[in-house]
């Protein structure tokens, strides 16, 4: 055997020994996944402080019912995909992500569907609309949402009322000021404010942003001087004018006048 071949064999053996040592050290330092159990479950829900219906306790209960709650389970047997698929079947979950850490933790990140409007239709239907204009089932939970009443079909709710509800929700003033939307038989809208004993007639559900801008100015420069309870009806139906109907004095006020 020549000197060159001997050198090649020595170098090859050195490389094999080095690779073996690296693999041995890595295997020694890496915990056996089968022997590691989940020591903590972290559940993070986006917009948990908003109007959503989910909380960590409900997520835990949902997984427990499906025998998928990972706490104290061997990490090797925990299926993050099964957890994600199960959570995403919930009508209140928009998206779910689940992953495991080397420290034995299972992390679950949820984005929930946020309700923006509660429908109480004249036909007896009760349900929520989320911020994507999709229907959420009625849970019986109380939530500080705008209520829509009157002659409302599901198609009208999703296509017409949902965008209006999002418009109101995104504006802090209107989000706190509007209490109810009422749909009349001809499809026109009434708005019931939280402050002020009057009804605002919006007319056809078009140009809502412009109508609200004019109403905001009227609140600021008109009602702030005339008084919030002076009118019983304010019409924003026409683009170039605001029509107000004064409140009738009750008998007690007439006698005292």
Sign of CA dihedral 87, 91, 93, 94: positive
Chain centre to alpha carbon of residue 185 = 30
pLDDT of residue 250: 43
Please, which residues bridge with residue 96 across strands?
110
Is residue 215 pLDDT above 80, yes or no?
yes
Q: Which residue has the higher pLDDT, 152 or 53?
A: 152
| Residue 34 backbone dihedrals phi, psi, to 5 degrees | -65, -30
CB 65 within 8 Å of CB 83: no
Output the average pLDDT for the chain: 83
Q: Write the pLDDT tens digit of every residue in 95-137.
A: 999 999 999 999 999 999 889 999 999 999 999 999 899 999 8
* For the chain, percent of residues with pLDDT exceeding 70: 78
CATH 3.10.20.310 fits domain 34-112: yes
3-class secondary-structure state, position 146? strand
- Smallest Cα–Cα separation from 127: which of 53, 48, 206, 22? 53
Q: Write the pLDDT tens digit of every residue in 54-102.
A: 889 999 999 999 999 999 999 999 999 999 999 999 999 999 999 999 9
pLDDT of residue 25: 45
SS3 percent helix, strand, coil of the chain, rounded to 5, is 40, 25, 35
Q: Which residue has the higher pLDDT, 229 or 113?
A: 113
pLDDT of residue 14: 58
The Cα–Cα gap between 115 and 135 comes to 9
pLDDT of residue 254: 35
CB 29 within 8 Å of CB 21: no
* Cβ-based neighbours of 92, under 8 Å, separated by 6 or more: 52, 53, 54, 112, 113, 136
Q: Which of 25-34, 84-93, 193-202 has the lowest mean pLDDT?
A: 25-34
Domain ranges of the chain: 34-112, 115-256
pTM for this prediction = 0.73
Q: What is the mean pLDDT of residues 10-38?
A: 57
Give 115-256's CATH code, choosing from 3.40.50.11690, 3.40.50.300, 3.30.70.60, 3.30.420.40: 3.40.50.11690
């Amino acid at each position: 055997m020549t000197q060159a071949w001997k050198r090649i064999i020595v170098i090859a053996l050195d490389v094999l020994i080095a690779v073996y040592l690296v693999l041995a050290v890595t295997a020694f330092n890496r915990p056996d996944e089968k022997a590691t159990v989940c020591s903590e479950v972290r559940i993070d829900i986006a917009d948990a402080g908003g109007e959503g219906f989910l909380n960590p306790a409900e997520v835990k209960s949902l997984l427990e019912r499906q025998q998928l709650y990972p706490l104290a389970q061997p990490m090797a047997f925990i299926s993050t995909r099964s957890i994600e698929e199960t959570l995403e079947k919930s009508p209140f979950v928009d998206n779910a992500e689940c992953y495991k850490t080397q420290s034995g933790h299972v992390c679950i990140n949820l984005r929930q569907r946020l309700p923006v409007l509660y429908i109480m239709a004249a036909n007896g239907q009760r349900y929520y609309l989320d911020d994507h204009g999709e229907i959420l089932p009625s849970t019986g939970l109380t939530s500080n949402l705008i209520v829509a009443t009157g002659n409302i079909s599901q198609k009208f709710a999703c296509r017409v009322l949902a965008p209006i509800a999002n418009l109101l929700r995104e504006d802090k003033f209107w989000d706190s000021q509007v209490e109810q939307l009422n749909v009349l038989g001809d499809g026109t809208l009434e708005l019931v404010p939280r402050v002020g004993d009057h009804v605002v007639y919006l007319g056809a559900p078009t140009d809502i942003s412009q109508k609200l801008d004019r109403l905001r100015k009227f609140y600021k420069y008109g009602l702030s001087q005339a008084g919030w309870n002076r009118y019983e009806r304010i019409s924003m139906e026409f683009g170039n004018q605001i029509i107000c109907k004064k409140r009738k004095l009750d008998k007690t006020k007439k006698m005292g006048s």
